[in-house]
């Protein structure tokens, strides 16, 4: 734990005392005997809990550069814990008046970040649920038409379409793992597609679909565009800087013209799980959420979040945590964006090291902060490369002195158009995948690179 984190956590007792002063405004009462817990029992259970939590990978440390797992900032954890002592429910103002207002504020900030002049939206428990809501609205608007997404889009789009009973169309990807617009155009000509899901940061590659170019197709065809920015959405903060390549920056700027967008604060927004969000550009879609609840929504005539949400009970603490975080790291290029600039730079630095190495080869130039690479072999057989990937992955993770944690990705031949020397004796090749989500990864990349080389 860093000194700065320790200092921030030291503020927790004072914050809890202030909360206790507020709670003392109400008449005293005795906690029921059934809820009392002996201190020794609590101490024993918590000690065992910490021991069992040791069976985890060090997600907070830059040695972990595997999956999309990023620890929450201390300010978010503290805000969540403090609000959790009240345990507000943001479904209705009855259950969380203060945190509902915070949620409305942070959602408005995210809408402005994406360039929405008007919006309707809320936080969700996950990106999956956020995408479900966006597709559910899409089905209402085009009940007989299909939802299209690329072969590199998250698998849950297909699953959520099954849930809502929507037909699906898979679109091919280009050599950079982005949606192939020629294939999309051909499918749009059928008139069967009502919504196209564009991904700004695919899970495997961090590829950014050409949202700006897809917008031009709307001049010829009638369809909605939903942006799945669950992972990469916050990189919109860098769209007006030199941190992103020109194609990615243009795609992020075009989100302002999309019909809906999803972003997960529990990924690059420094939040604890679960905190997703969904935003619609047209507030009129709220009509699809309309329902009659005879037992709630009585404390205010203002809009309750449960009236524009598929979920019912939702943690108000999640809104409090995000609100507190954005007070400290605002949604600007030099606020939260400064953190993302470093994660992006970390990916570029490792890509440079890989390209200068004779033992490793880059799959594709990273568009965000995800790097995919593999070991070179004399046989050039993908089966041999896959074996090396599996062996090195295990060796790095189980190194007692200095373990390193990466991830793996089963890549298809279409991503290796410029790698003509590969011998495809298997249908896919397992490569290394590294998600560099922490700003500390920028300085740690040389160590990661050397550790990988040491195990080849």
Tens-place pLDDT, residues 361-381? 999 999 999 999 999 999 999
My answer on whether 310 and 386 are in the same domain is no
The whole domain housing 448 covers 336-455
In the chain, pLDDT over 70 holds for what percent of residues? 98
Is 29 within a domain?
A: no
Q: What mean pLDDT is predicted for residues 116-138?
A: 97
pLDDT-derived band at 301 (thresholds 50, 70, 90) equals low
The predicted pLDDT at position 56 comes to 95
Query: Domain boundary at 328, 346, 367, which?
Result: 328
Tokens of 88: 């507000």
The predicted pLDDT at position 6 comes to 75
Closest CA to 434 of 413, 416, 448: 448
My answer on whether 319 and 403 are in the same domain is no
pLDDT in tens, 120-129: 999 999 999 9
Closest CA to 190 of 131, 241, 148: 148
Closest CA to 350 of 414, 435, 268, 249: 435
Count up the domains in the chain and report the number: 2
* CATH code for the domain in which residue 273 is found: 3.40.640.10
* CATH code for the domain in which residue 443 is found: 3.90.1150.170
Distance CA 130, CA 160 (A): 10
SS3 280: strand
Distance CA 362, CA 346 (A): 15
Task: Name the average pLDDT for the chain.
Answer: 95
Is the peptide bond between 293 and the residue preceding it cis, with omega within 30 degrees of 0? Answer: no
Distance CA 226, CA 224 (A): 7
pLDDT in tens, 179-215: 999 999 999 999 999 999 999 999 999 999 999 999 9
Its pTM stands at 0.95
SS3 141: helix
Distance CA 333, CA 71 (A): 21
My answer on whether 125 and 274 are in the same domain is yes
DSSP calls for 148-168: EEETTS-THHHHHHHHHT--E
């Amino acid at each position: 734990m860093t000194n700065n984190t320790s200092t921030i956590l030291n503020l927790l007792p004072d914050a809890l005392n202030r909360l206790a002063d507020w709670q003392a405004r109400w008449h005293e009462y005795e906690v029921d005997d059934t809820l009392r817990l002996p201190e020794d029992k609590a101490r024993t259970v918590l000690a065992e809990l910490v021991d069992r939590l040791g069976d985890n990978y060090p997600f907070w440390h830059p040695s972990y550069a595997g999956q999309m797992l990023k620890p929450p900032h201390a300010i978010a954890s503290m805000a969540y814990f403090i609000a959790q002592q009240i345990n507000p429910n943001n479904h209705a103002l009855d259950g969380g008046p203060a945190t509902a207002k915070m949620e409305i504020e942070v959602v408005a900030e995210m809408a402005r970040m994406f360039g929405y002049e008007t919006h309707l939206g809320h936080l969700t428990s996950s990106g999956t649920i956020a995408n479900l809501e966006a597709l559910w609205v899409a089905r209402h608007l085009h009940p007989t038409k299909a939802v299209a997404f690329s072969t590199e889009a998250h698998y849950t789009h297909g699953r959520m379409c099954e849930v809502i009973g929507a037909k699906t169309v898979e679109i091919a990807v280009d050599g950079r793992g982005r949606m192939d617009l020629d294939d999309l155009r051909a499918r749009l000509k059928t008139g069967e597609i009502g919504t196209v899901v564009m991904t700004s940061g695919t899970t495997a590659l961090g590829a950014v679909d050409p949202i700006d170019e897809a917008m031009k197709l709307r001049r010829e065809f009638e369809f909605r565009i939903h942006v799945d920015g669950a992972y990469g959405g916050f990189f919109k903060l860098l769209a007006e800087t030199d941190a992103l390549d020109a194609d990615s920056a243009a795609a992020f700027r075009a989100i302002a013209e999309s019909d809906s967008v999803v972003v997960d604060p529990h990924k690059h927004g420094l939040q604890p799980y679960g905190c997703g969000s969904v935003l619609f550009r047209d507030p009129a879609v709220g009509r699809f959420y309309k329902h009659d609840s005879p037992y709630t929504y009585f404390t205010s005539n203002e809009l309750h979040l449960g009236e524009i949400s598929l979920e019912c009970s939702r943690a108000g603490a999640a809104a409090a945590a995000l609100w507190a975080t954005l007070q400290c790291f605002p949604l600007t290029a030099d606020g939260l964006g400064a953190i993302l600039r470093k994660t992006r730079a970390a990916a570029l630095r490792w890509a440079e090291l890989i390209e200068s190495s004779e033992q490793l080869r880059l799959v594709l130039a990273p568009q965000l902060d995800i790097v995919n690479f593999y070991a070179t072999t004399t046989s050039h057989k993908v089966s041999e490369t896959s074996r090396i990937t599996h062996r090195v992955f295990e060796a790095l993770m189980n190194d007692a002195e200095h373990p390193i944690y990466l991830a793996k990705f089963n890549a298809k031949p279409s991503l290796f158009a410029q790698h003509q020397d590969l011998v495809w004796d298997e249908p896919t090749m397992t490569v290394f995948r590294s998600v560099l989500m922490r700003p500390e990864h920028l300085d740690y990349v040389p160590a990661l690179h050397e550790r990988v080389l040491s195990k080849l």
